[in-house]
């Protein structure tokens, strides 16, 4: 189970069913979200549906780590953890560039390679080095690296790798 789609500045609800892996009586449940900002939400236990209900609002868009823990007098245990992307507020100004660093940089690298870069793009620097000082090979290598990074960013679920072991 993972967090629902969350948009910055909009309320969200996440339900965790109580069962063998999620206790109910004598426990509290906490959802912790860390990233561009830090948030902590306590759940309410809904006895009619036997679920823990987390409600909250995350103000800043970005990539976050999250953890759901159950706590009692003895200690706490981790129920679930993972990564969540909080999407930009869809009602915010439309001129906001929502592309990742890799996507923006790839556009600049490709414009330089095609000799169609704007003055702003030509003034771009990476690690203190002007984009115009990179060799063609370095730009091609950077382009390859950025494309790989973008493809990894866009993957939502990991693909299963299946191994077959045979006796030799």
Alpha carbon 16 to chain centroid, angstroms: 20
DSSP SS3 for 163? coil
115 domain residue, yes or no: yes
* Count of structural domains within the chain: 2
Residue 36 belongs to domain spanning: 6-87
In whole angstroms, what is the distance from residue 91 CA to residue 8 CA?
Answer: 10
Which domain-ending residue is among 87, 110, 145?
Answer: 87
In this structure, what are the phi and psi dihedrals at residue 133, rounded to the nearest 5 degrees? Answer: -90, -5
pTM listed for this prediction: 0.55
| Residue carrying the six token digits 């500045």 | 9
Which domain-ending residue is among 48, 65, 87?
Answer: 87
What the block records as the tokens of 82 is: 């993972």
1 domain residue, yes or no: no
165 domain residue, yes or no: no
CATH of the domain at 18: 2.60.40.10
What is the tens place of the pLDDT at every residue in 24-43? 677 889 999 998 899 999 99
pLDDT band at 95 (very low <50, low <70, confident <90, very high): low
């Amino acid at each position: 189970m993972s967090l629902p789609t969350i948009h910055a500045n909009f309320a969200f609800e996440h339900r965790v069913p109580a069962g063998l892996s999620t206790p109910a009586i004598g426990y509290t449940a906490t959802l912790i979200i860390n990233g561009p900002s830090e948030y902590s939400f306590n759940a309410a236990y809904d006895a009619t549906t036997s679920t823990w209900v987390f409600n909250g609002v995350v103000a800043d868009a970005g990539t976050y780590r999250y953890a759901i823990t159950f706590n009692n007098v003895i200690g706490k245990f981790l129920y679930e953890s993972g990564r969540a992307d909080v999407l930009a507020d869809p009602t915010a100004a439309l001129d906001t560039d929502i592309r990742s660093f890799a996507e923006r940089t790839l556009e600049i690298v490709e414009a330089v390679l095609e000799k169609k870069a704007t003055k702003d793009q030509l003034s771009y620097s990476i690690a203190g080095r002007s984009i115009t000082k990179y060799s063609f090979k370095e730009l091609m290598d950077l382009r390859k690296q950025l494309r790989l990074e973008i493809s990894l960013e866009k993957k939502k679920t990991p693909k299963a790798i299946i191994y077959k072991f045979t006796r030799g």
